[in-house]
Amino acid sequence: MPALAVADALRTSGARVVFIGGDRAEAELVPRAGFEFRRIEVEGLDRSNPLRALRALAKSVTATFTAWKMIGKMRPAAVLGGGGYVAGPVGAAAVLRRVPLVLTEADSHFGLTNRLLAPFASKVCLAFHLDGRVGDRYIVTGRPIPLQAHDPSEARKRFGLSDGDRVIVVVGGSLGARSINEAALEAFAEDPQLKVIHAAGERDLASLEARPRGSGYQLFGYIDSFSEALLAADLVVSRAGGSVFEIAAAGRPAILVPYPHAAADHQAGNARWMEQAGAAIVLADDQLSGERLASEVGRLLADPEQLAQMANASASIARPDATAAVEAALRAAGAGR
């Protein structure tokens, strides 16, 4: 999603943008957004299984050669690495082709791919200040996010809601979060006082749709107009991945439940960023239940002053210029080609 935000800005200003990716979410989202998409076969490094790790390394070598040929044909001015394992072979191919490389790190932990490629990059754009990542090569830009909606009333109309409704948005990431899904349904499915917009992810959607819920509980697999959903909310319940930057951009208070198995526990770091600003309350995944979630939501909704303070704190830490900053770094890196 950060790469798509930067790509939109580049396309608007006349650049041709081509994505190289694998077979995960990008294979669907990128063509849907109208960008060229070239596929390579690559997988993440399994550090607990030596045989799978060797297979992943072999695929990475092949993928690097494939990306090297693609970059040679396209002759790009610069290459942007999104931080995931797919960016490894493409970034390595850019280095071998002597094409300027710019990296982005969207979380509070510097990932393995970026650690390997950073010494060869023209710039590394960080979402957060990270210890030890200093010098001219590193700049803190925030995390690029898609264009945001700005009219709360129109956003509520988009979901059939009125200005007087009390609205909770529940989201667990692109795949969904089973613990949040279960707790949200238990807490809010039949609460007549609340309106709920729940992005549950596609994995569990069918089983969740079979569960009883009131007419005010809207259940989705994926919400295309995510910024409108956030803008419609009085309070957001979410994992603490990259969505924390979109929550802040919308100026919304949040209850965050970090994914406990994220690499280097980076979601806990993301959540602390909002918590320390006064914009969020953090619940541990193993402490989450329908009863606990209902209690926390009820307490916050009953205290409009605290909710307003959290909303103001959320807006204060937003980085609306992040997309423009990464685009500028990429254009500067490729200016000589």
CATH numbers and ranges of domains, the chain: 2-146+320-333 (3.40.50.2000), 152-316 (3.40.50.2000)
Interval 88-112: pLDDT, tens: 999 999 999 999 999 999 888 888 8
Q: Distances from the Cα of 273 to the Cαs of 107, 180, 228, 233, in angstroms?
A: 11, 20, 23, 21
CA dist., res. 107 & res. 27, Å (int): 22
Name the β-bridge partners of 282: 256
Amino acid at residue number 317: I
Amino acid at residue number 164: G
> Which residue, 31, 18, 97, is CA-closest to 65?
97
Residue 57: its pLDDT value, please?
81
Interval 271-306: pLDDT, tens: 999 999 999 999 999 999 999 999 999 999 999 999
Contact indicator for 184, 176 with CB cutoff of 8 Å: no
CA dist., res. 337 & res. 320, Å (int): 29
Residue 333: its pLDDT value, please?
95
CA dist., res. 58 & res. 196, Å (int): 46
> Which residue, 289, 255, 301, 249, is CA-closest to 275?
255
Residue 156: its pLDDT value, please?
96
> Which residue, 210, 150, 200, 146, is CA-closest to 6?
146
Mean pLDDT, each 10-residue run in order, the chain (337 residues): 93 94 85 93 75 81 93 96 88 96 89 92 92 87 88 94 96 78 93 94 86 92 89 96 92 95 84 96 95 96 97 95 95 88
Whole-model pTM?
Answer: 0.86
CA dist., res. 325 & res. 337, Å (int): 20
Q: Print burial letters for 114-152: b (CB count within 10 Å at least 16), e (below 16).
A: beebbeebbbbbbbbebeebeeeebbbbbbbbbebbeeb
> How far is the first Cα of the chain from the last one, in angstroms, to the nearest whole number?
27
Q: Distances from the Cα of 203 to the Cαs of 21, 104, 182, 220, 223, in angstroms?
A: 22, 28, 13, 11, 14
Residue 117: its pLDDT value, please?
95
